[in-house]
Structure 1
Amino acid sequence: MNSRKLPRKKNLSAMRMLGVQLGTARRAAGFTQRSLGERLMIDEETIASIEQGRRPLKPDLAASLDELLGTKGMLSAGVANLPEIDQFPLWAELYVQHEREAVSLSLYASQVLPGLLQTEQYARAVLRERVPAYDEDEIETRTAARTGRRDVLHRKTPPTVSFIVWEPVLHLDIGGAHVRREQLRHLREYSELPGLSLQFLPLDSPSHAGLDGPFILLETPDHQHLAYIEGQRGSQWVSDPSEVSILARKYAMLRTQALTPQESQRLLDRLLGEQGEQRTSVVHVDLQR
């Protein structure tokens, strides 16, 4: 995988410049964003995102636009000279935009629960662990943004979503016993959502296809398959089909190694039962004092 990264501003400036060129050519040809999208059988929002530099223009679409708008290969040449999407750092706002529009998401987590599954208290506790520390105002702002992302799971037509989480994550006591218990309840509730699969890779599994770390697979509305890898000091998109395929195969193997969704629900029930017993035991001891 190509890990070379280019400065964010350079990449986004190039994408915005190409978007401006597309918008200028579109208007000169007498198209609105909607009519152009209808002509190409793609969403109006896709055209808008490309023109605003929020979404990269792909070679096949650039070729179609050159032909339709009479730009004589200008857009294709611009795409050919853009940095590859794999090469620029993944910034949260770009990922969230793709997440909001995705038709499918597959997420493997091994360190902390995915943001889409976090309760407000759990998210706040996770953000408080950041080094160097956020101030309280920033923690509240980021907590609201993170929990707001859950709306994607409650859309009228939600994406198809699969989560695989390594079991040790469930035993982390981040925020204390109460936060953990409410988070487990939340997971159990979300495990019942239509179109959502929640599986846990058990601690005693003899096989583990995710030892290289967490990652996300994403399918866009125009059926582009991307992967997202986030690390300690940077993140990156992966768009090369062969590289995305490797991660997709890892995810497929993880699904066979993980508990089934039904077994995963029973694991949550057991953990919630154990926490309830511990709480009852503490109250009983306190009453004997």
Structure 2
Amino acid sequence: MHPRNRQRKNASAMKLVGALVARFRIAAGLTQRQLAEQACAQPETIASIEQGRRTLLPPLARVLDSLLDTKGTLETAVDNMPEVDLIPAWAEQYMDLERSALALSWFENQVLPGLLQTENYARAVFRTDVPALSEEEISQRVAARIDRREVLLRSEPPTASFIFSEAILVDRLGGDDVHSETLRHLLLCSEIPGVTLQVMPLGRQTHAGLSGPFILIETPEHQRIGYTETQRGSQLISSPDEVSILERKYAMLRTQALNSEDTKRLLDRLLGEL
């Protein structure tokens, strides 16, 4: 099914299904890690599903029904969950790929990449949404975004490269306190093994990313996929020719941006100016 036609399931229903998974797993005498191994999934995936933080998708529901001998209970529950568009449906397929990616290359020019956002920065981003979101919707979206940061802290984390515009660091979404917290957080992120941050400085005469932000993903099967978002939709790009274009753009961006050491010095300088 095309990701635009899928909806993020209701948060309360996700918790209910997660609780069922946990109950059936315990009844079967399995740990989360043991169930994950048998289901060919990540232990973090099972844990997040049981906590109601991640949707149980139909293919995994069928596998778990078979392993736990639950006679289709989980698949039936998933198929009949109420739906609500808390997280854009068209982004859900990308997030599935992000969770298991071997490598991520991410360019942004207006907002920090989601995996680098603090809770307060994410809240400031969602507070600027138009039309305005309710406080409950904001809280749910912030929680989901912060949960995604675990991707960088997996036992076998992806190799992750981030390039983002200096304009993002000049903006002060959420106010001065959030701004300084964000700069400190970026410095901490720059120390995570396998993570590289590069800032595209202002005032350049050439720029390989003028067509907009994009993400490159390498899957565990070594497939390379591109991802782009618009205001109300997204596109997963699997054509080798099209992915090659994005890879060449990203390679050029890496030569045009500050290197990682100069990026850290810029972050230090901006913090010192506060």
Asked whether the two chains share a fold, i.e. TM above 0.5, the reply is yes
Asked if the contact 1:99–1:218 (Cα under 8 Å) also holds between the matched residues in 2, the reply is yes
The answer for the alignment partner of 1:52 in structure 2 is 59
Partner of 2:273: helix, strand, or coil?
helix
The answer for the alignment partner of 1:8 in structure 2 is 5
> Paired residues, what number?
203
Alpha-carbon shift at residue 138 of structure 1 (Å): 0.5
Asked if the contact 1:218–1:225 (Cα under 8 Å) also holds between the matched residues in 2, the reply is yes
**Does 1:162 pair with 2:161?**
yes
Opposite residue 98 of structure 1, the aligned amino acid is L
* Alpha-carbon displacement from aligned partner over 1:61-95 (angstroms, at most 9, x marks no partner): xxxxxxxxxxxxxxxxxxxxxxxxxxxx9722211
Task: Return 5+ residue gaps in structure 2 as ranges.
Answer: 7-38, 43-55, 62-87
Partner of 1:232: helix, strand, or coil?
coil
Query: Which structure 2 residues correspond to residues 210-229 of structure 1 after superposition, within 5 A?
Result: 210-229=209-228
Asked if the contact 1:201–1:258 (Cα under 8 Å) also holds between the matched residues in 2, the reply is yes
Partner of 1:134: helix, strand, or coil?
coil
* Alpha-carbon displacement from aligned partner over 1:139-188 (angstroms, at most 9, x marks no partner): 00000000110001111110000000011011111100110110000001
Asked if the contact 1:90–1:236 (Cα under 8 Å) also holds between the matched residues in 2, the reply is no
RMSD: 2.4
Partner of 1:44: helix, strand, or coil?
coil
Alpha-carbon shift at residue 205 of structure 1 (Å): 2.0
| Sequence identity percentage | 56
Counterpart CA distance in 2 for 1:51 and 1:6 is: 14
* Alpha-carbon displacement from aligned partner over 1:83-135 (angstroms, at most 9, x marks no partner): xxxxxx97222111110000000000001001100000000000000000110
Cα–Cα, structure 1 residues 240 and 53, in superposed 2: closer, same or farther, change >3 Å? Answer: farther
Query: Which structure 2 residues correspond to residues 232-271 of structure 1 after superposition, within 5 A?
Result: 232-271=231-270
Opposite residue 130 of structure 2, the aligned amino acid is V
- State TM-score, norm by structure 2: 0.70
Opposite residue 132 of structure 1, the aligned amino acid is P
Cα–Cα, structure 1 residues 90 and 240, in superposed 2: closer, same or farther, change >3 Å? Answer: farther
Task: Return 5+ residue gaps in structure 1 as ranges.
Answer: 10-42, 55-88, 276-289
Counterpart CA distance in 2 for 1:177 and 1:262 is: 25
Counterpart CA distance in 2 for 1:119 and 1:90 is: 23
* Alpha-carbon displacement from aligned partner over 1:220-248 (angstroms, at most 9, x marks no partner): 00011000000112111000000000000
Opposite residue 226 of structure 1, the aligned amino acid is I
Larger Rg: 1
